[in-house]
Chains A and B, each alone.
Chain A
Amino acid sequence: MRRYTRGVTQASRAGPRLAALPLLALFAALSLAGAQPAVDVELGLGGNVVVGAWNPLRVVARDVPLGSRVEMTFDQGTLRTGEVPFRLQLPVSGGPGLSVVEHTVYVAPFSSVTWALLGGDGVVASGSLLGRDQDARPLDVVLSRRSGSYTAAFGSNARVVDVAAAQLPLVPAAYDGVRSVIVDGTGAAPRLEALAAAAAAGAVVVVVGEMPASHAEVRLLASRPRTPVGAGAVLAVEGSPADVGLAVERFTAGRPSRPELVAAAAARPLVTPPAPLRQQLVVVAAVVFSAFAVTATRLFGAPGLASALLVAGLVSGAAWLYARPTEPQVVGARTLALVGGELALATRLEERFTLPATTIAFPGLARPLDARPYLVDDAGLRLDLPGWRSVVLVMAPELVDAPLAYEGGRLVNSGAATLSHVLVVGLGPQADLAPGAGAALSAGEDGPPHEAYASLLPLLPSGSVVALSGCEVACTVWLAPGLVDLEGVEVL
């Protein structure tokens, strides 16, 4: 476990050591020691950063000034692009005792990370993380006293980390860079919410063997050999650490890569910029107006000039009415929801196309799809965008209720909105599903898939179910990878 921690001691330890006042000296030294500010910054699960994923950030400050704030700067630039800073600014309450700040932050490939805790009139503590420490491999988190055996079983390419159960975050987005969480009952029992969040976020939670009484909640979670939860699953595995490694490999091999799905979903523009007036029309209008203005002024004296001025005003009004786009910003969105059981992990993509140069503000956890300078503080994300440019924002994944299920050979819509353009990969388009309705599978002719999910289909395994809802405002693409086993299915 690596911790990127720096502490700065500001107060002097020196105290009066007068022989006549030993007790007073002791009190003075104790009071000075109590006022020493100290800051621990931990980025990543147990200090293990996964690049290209959302990571938990935990700042623990002791005895820092009231109203302090922590600032982190991620330089996402390269030699070619130069500095591309992502700045994170979070308030720290400060005061005597501990102040804890927890956040989830997206860590793109970076060249350096620096942080500073600012309070009072200056820097209380600071530190850095070098770019060479970054690793994009997902984590295999082991909650066991025998973590060494899992490290050996998973092989040298895996990134097995030993984390205390209490360190597991409860936010699904914090598990974005986690491939598996292994619980074998030999360590302290993790919280059920943490395991559920990990599974829903796409990790595979492996419960190994029989659980002791202290792990009764975990036992409930693994009541079946395989329980899909959101984008991940909970597996109950009997056997050695090698069997666990094999089960994790098998499960992840059959799942689509979420970063690839997000990239494919954002590949097509989500907005249509306003179409300008045709150039030919503009040319004709400009030439006709110019000729009229010159002719009227030359031939008709004062009335001609008055007419030219009047027509200029009218043409200006008409130009304003017909050439002006209705809104300064065009916003398009699409949500990608990975279904597993009764939950789905939803990732919302939002493209904002701005006509005038502006500062985009988004209140919530989000990041731009491509590397560009931006700022995140407690109010959300802000980034500057020049005129006639767009940015795709990717929200942090969150859990929603899944409406799509496969029960008794029928696709069922348990949600409140109609599921349209339903498609089973390898079988073809299916009938739309009204709220509460179900339909048996049918083999249909493959037409062109809906543009909202056409780019995703090559990434999905056979038997995956895709459906759309809410396309009147912004489409939600429901993806249930491998939901239907096509080999044993009866088709109408």
Chain B
Amino acid sequence: MRLLSATAARLGRQDMLQGLTGLLAALCLVLVMSWPSGGAVVNDSWSVVAPVRAVLLAFGALSWGAAVGARPRRDEMGVAFVPTPEAPPHGEPAWRREVAATLAALLAMAVITMPFDVLSHAAAYPGTSLAWSLLAPFLATAGYFGVGLGLGRALRVARLGALLPLAVPALIAAAAWLDVSLGARVASPWFAVLDVSPSFAAVMAVAAALAAWTARPVREAAP
């Protein structure tokens, strides 16, 4: 119940609410544009809706993961700095709770956008199973959130935090480039969602485990 409340509170904050609204609006647009109209009968909407949904979820997860991961530690802030409750310093129990709430909110976004995937899958009747079509975006969301945590922390440690807005889309593009050059479905959610990929599932599962380990609850230090 506490996790649900924390998730709702996190999802209700302006940044994620706008992200959810934008995601739903983008999916509505893509669904309408790819749905057959007039006398057309060929319905290939799933091959557009599913990759767009998976990529947008992964992009959001990477962005929020990097933002949370790049949060400064208390000792980096200076003595006079008092953090707000919405932005606890890195590594503290409150920060871990925020990591868990953000991850849960991202997974809730994946559930809320699920009908778009199911509808287009049902109508388009692709060869890929519905189970994978639903599982892959969840894996991508959790996995890219874990990658984002690592990316944000790495840029903070390297004192390259200013590059964060560039690093996030660059990483998504690099994942696509890697898959194209390897001819495999390993990193990019765009290609991975179109066909069952055990290697993508393994990579994302490792990254998701990193995120879950980071979000684990720890006891408050005694005052």
Contacts and interface: CB of A to CB of B under 8 A. Distances in A.
A273 interface: yes
Interface of B: 1, 4-5, 7-9, 11-12, 17, 20-21, 24-25, 27-28, 31-32, 35-37, 41-44, 108, 111-116, 118-119, 122-127, 130
Contacts of A355: 124-125
A287 B29 CA distance: 10
Interface of A: 273-277, 279, 282-283, 286-287, 289-290, 293-294, 297-298, 301-302, 304-306, 308-309, 312-313, 315-316, 319-320, 322-325, 328, 355-358, 387-388
B41 A315 contact: no
Contact of B108 (A282, A305, A356): A305
A59 B109 CA distance: 65
A452 to B, nearest CB: 22
29 contacts: A273-B41, A273-B42, A279-B32, A279-B36, A279-B37, A282-B32, A282-B119, A283-B35, A287-B28, A290-B27, A294-B17, A294-B20, A294-B21, A301-B8, A302-B1, A302-B5, A309-B108, A309-B111, A312-B113, A313-B111, A313-B114, A316-B115, A316-B118, A320-B122, A323-B119, A355-B124, A357-B126, A358-B127, A388-B41
B12 A286 contact: no
B41 A275 contact: yes
Contact of A297 (B12, B116, B123): B12
B24 A388 contact: no
A157 to B, nearest CB: 45
B12 A320 contact: no
Contact of B123 (A277, A308, A358): A277
Contacts of B130: 320
The SS class assigned to the A binding surface is helix
A287 to B, nearest CB: 6
B35 A276 contact: yes
Contacts of B108: 305, 308-309
A328 B125 contact: yes
A82 B10 CA distance: 58
A297 B8 contact: yes
Contact of B116 (A279, A286, A313, A325): A286
Contact of B125 (A290, A304, A306, A324): A324
A276 B114 CA distance: 20
A289 B115 contact: yes
B127 A290 contact: no
B43 to A, nearest CB: 5
Nearest to A388: B42
Nearest to B127: A356
Given A302-B4, A305-B11, A319-B115, A286 B32 contact: yes
A312 B114 CA distance: 7
Nearest first, the 3 closest Cβ-Cβ pairs linking A and B are A355-B125, A290-B24, A319-B119
Given A276-B123, A305-B8, A323-B122, A298 B17 contact: yes
Given A328-B125, A387-B127, A312 B32 contact: no
Contacts of B43: 276, 388
A279 B24 CA distance: 17
A305 B16 CA distance: 13
A358 B123 CA distance: 17
A315 B114 CA distance: 9
A170 to B, nearest CB: 43
B113 to A, nearest CB: 8
Given A286-B27, A387-B44, A298 B12 contact: yes
A297 B20 contact: yes
